[in-house]
Amino acid sequence: MTKRHIWYAAGAAALSLGFAAGCGTGDDTQGAGATRSAKPRTSASATSTGPAYKGAALPALSRRPAWSLRADSSTGCAGDPARAAATSTVGDDPETCVLGDAVVVTQDLTKYPGSSSSGDEPDEYHFRARLYDAATGGVRASVDVEIPDSWPGKREHKPSAFLTVSQWTDGSPALLVVDGDVTEASGLKKESVETSYTMYSPSGRKLGSSSFQGAGRTDLTAEAGHVLLDEGSKSSTYAPIGGGDTVPVHNRAYGQQPIGSGFGYRVATGSDVWDTSGTWLVVSDRLTGKELWNTKDDVDVPADIASANDDDAKPVRIYPLSADKALLAWELSDDDPYDALLGVVDLKTGRTLAQGPKVAFGDVAGDDTADIALSPDGTTVVTRFGGGAVAWNVKTGDELWRQEDDEQDITPLALPSADVLYASVGDMRLAALNMRTKKLLSPDLAPDVSLAEDGDALQFTTDGYGVLAGQHLFVFAPGSA
């Protein structure tokens, strides 16, 4: 098996050398499992030697970057399979530069033979991911993957296919590293293929690792700290990364987005064979299969939705909001100018927490995806279902503002504070709006080039640092610009 190397930074000074320098002591995989990662020290050279930021001020962030990193054509960010599965754009392969409170940057170190256009394949692919402390730019950990060209996996040969963001068993963010090797046939021994799946926390600590033999285990997908071994029609078998008994997990309904942390919840549509007046949603635990609640019997139907026949099921859709909450979109009558009434429910019980505003689905009436930006404190949200964005209070349901018919489309991207919304606004691309008034604060903030392929140019860590992935990478501290 090709050995994976991981280094813990002795200090943040390695950052100033970009990817040209090593990052420390050269511990092997066994050392990666230790919890002794050094706390990065602030380096005065981190910002002075990195590229200077010449763009516009970013509202809710520091005027100057806390640190920056010079990038080149080999630099990128980690793959984001969950977002790729949720996107409705064919061919999108989104990347993300954040992992919890860390910044994750990848590099293709492969030595390609001949020119880049020659089409010759290298004998081995070499990819690297580094986890940076968002506040200081110190390198928390660096992990390398070396894949021989003869390895039979179907993953595209690029860093974001082998270094991806995922979740650990408790729903916390984790970096998934896929590594592989091929042992040639020798004597009576056949050729053998081995693939390993390893997860690291944002701190750089190794959470667990599992290896599998055979060409049939090269392209396993990961979820909640497990890899999917065998997919069944109703339930599938998962193996915990790091060892342990396999776990049967009930499949999500066809086309259902992930809802809840960990394995989360299964949402199915129920119906009564004796009464076809409507359908309802049934929410169950994916691990136990136990039904937790349904919208016909356990959820208070909003007064605006109730009809003369209380026995009729009320058509409703569900959308993920946070780890423990979801949005319900109750279908309104045909004579209403809007399509649905929103509500917030507790995922475990179905208890209604707030009744929100009415929304329009626009041209995506049959699409169960939505653009949702929730504030860090979970009190305000901006939602867009195709018919215009609406900002509202999650606790009270009170509407703050909505996109008017004569305004450009507002697609919410991030809500780093209670005062500033970052959104894609019509032909302005990335823009900042005042969250309370909808006033345009700063237009045209997106860089012309982004390191995060098919991803957002501006992303936020869990502790509020803004990561602008343009031609180079700039990290800004939370606070007024």
Radius of gyration of the chain (CA): 24
Which DSSP letter does residue 86 get? H
Tens digit of pLDDT per residue, the chain (481 long)?
Answer: 444 434 333 333 333 333 322 233 333 333 333 332 333 333 333 444 789 999 999 999 999 999 999 999 999 999 998 887 766 555 567 899 999 999 999 999 999 987 555 567 899 999 999 999 999 999 999 999 999 999 999 999 999 999 999 999 999 999 999 999 999 999 999 999 999 999 999 999 999 999 999 999 999 999 999 999 999 999 999 999 999 999 999 999 887 888 999 999 999 987 654 444 557 899 999 999 999 999 988 998 888 787 634 556 678 899 999 999 999 999 888 888 999 999 999 999 999 999 999 999 876 544 567 899 999 999 999 999 888 999 999 999 999 999 999 999 999 999 999 899 999 999 888 999 999 999 999 999 988 878 777 778 899 999 999 999 999 999 999 987 5
Say which DSSP state 268 is in.
Answer: E
Nearest partner of 37 among 208, 241, 200, judged by Cα: 200
167 CB neighbour count, 10 Å cutoff: 22
Tokens for 121? Answer: 């394949």
Q: Is 145 exposed, middle or buried (0-12, 13-18, 19+ CB in 10 A)?
A: buried
Distance CA 234, CA 232 (A): 6
pLDDT at position 176, please? Answer: 98
Q: What is the pTM of this model?
A: 0.86
* Burial class, 248, CB count within 10 angstroms (exposed 0-12 / middle 13-18 / buried 19+): middle
Query: At a CB cut-off of 8 Å and minimum separation 6, what does 76 contact?
Result: 95, 105, 106, 107, 108, 158, 159, 160, 451, 452, 453
The answer to whether the CB of 78 falls within 8 A of the CB of 129 is yes
What's the pLDDT at 57?
94
Dihedral of CA 434/438/442/444: which sign?
positive
Q: Report domain extents, the chain.
A: 6-250, 258-363
